[in-house]
Amino acid sequence: MPRSRKRLAGAAGPDKKELSGKHIKTENSNETSAHVENSSPETVSDSKNCGKNLSNYWLMKSEPESRLEKGVDVKFSIEDLKAQPEQTACWDGVRNYQARNFLRAMKLEDEVFFYHSNCKEPGIAGLMKIVKEAYPDHTQFEKNNPYYDPSSKKDNPKWFMVDVQFIRIMKRFISLAELKTYHQAHKASGGPLKNMALFTRQRLSVQSLTQEEFDFILSLEEKEPS
């Protein structure tokens, strides 16, 4: 869902992000898209969880391969972010309440894994950071936008976005399959990825990570794929 400073967003449903001419995306299939998660305010309680017990580490999903959503290409990869002016984009188009609440909980300089979703090989492609805290997502008010939400009002917006900035591409791509292997092993052993939201809340396009999860995943860069 991100775009160059302004990105396009997605519709209610699993949640995805969109573009700035590119969205940050949704995942479906095995993983599911970010944008399109359910948009029911199932989430007032989630919003509580968001304010507390919050880490400063996140995982955000976007689609690196072209796909049209109501005539708009939602493709946005880590390479697209790197190519933006100042290597910065807004992460718009999130249309899921829990994911939105996570966006609102983010703080400047929080670190984020950029996750490629809904593609041949999903996984963690790079690192970025939060450079502007949550503010209203303009795409909810744009009638021609695929993620327009007529029920949202400018004086009481439903949807928010943040600005992200490229840090680096991962030393090696950490695939979903590799992460799943560790998750399954850690469920038995009590390891760092035992409760990772990527597997327990697959449809969320914006997910919080513990420092233990974040550090363990970073350590995988130095290891051969399992």
> What's the rounded Cα separation, in Å, for the pair 62 and 163?
14
Regarding the domain with residue range 2-219, which homologous superfamily does it belong to in the CATH classification?
Answer: ph1033 like domains (3.10.590.10)
Query: What average pLDDT values come out for the chain (226 residues) when binned by 10 residues?
Result: 44 41 39 43 44 72 94 94 98 96 97 97 98 97 93 97 98 98 97 97 96 98 86
Whole-number pLDDT of residue 169: 98
Q: What are phi and psi of 149, to 5 degrees?
A: -125, 100
Whole-number pLDDT of residue 225: 82
Whole-number pLDDT of residue 224: 86
Annotated domain spans of the chain: 2-219
What is the value of pTM for the model shown?
A: 0.81
Q: What are phi and psi of 83, to 5 degrees?
A: -85, -10
| DSSP state letter for 92 | -
User: b vs e for 35-69, b when ≥16 Cβ sit within 10 Å of the residue's Cβ?
Assistant: bbbbbeeebeebbeebeeeeebbbbbbbbbeebeb
Whole-number pLDDT of residue 204: 96
Whole-number pLDDT of residue 12: 36
> What's the rounded Cα separation, in Å, for the pair 18 and 76?
7
Max alpha carbon distance in the chain (Å)? 51
Q: Which of 199, 185, 178, 160 is nearest to 32 (CA)?
A: 199
Following CA atoms 148, 152, 154, 160 in sequence, which dihedral angle do they give, to the nearest 10 degrees?
A: -70
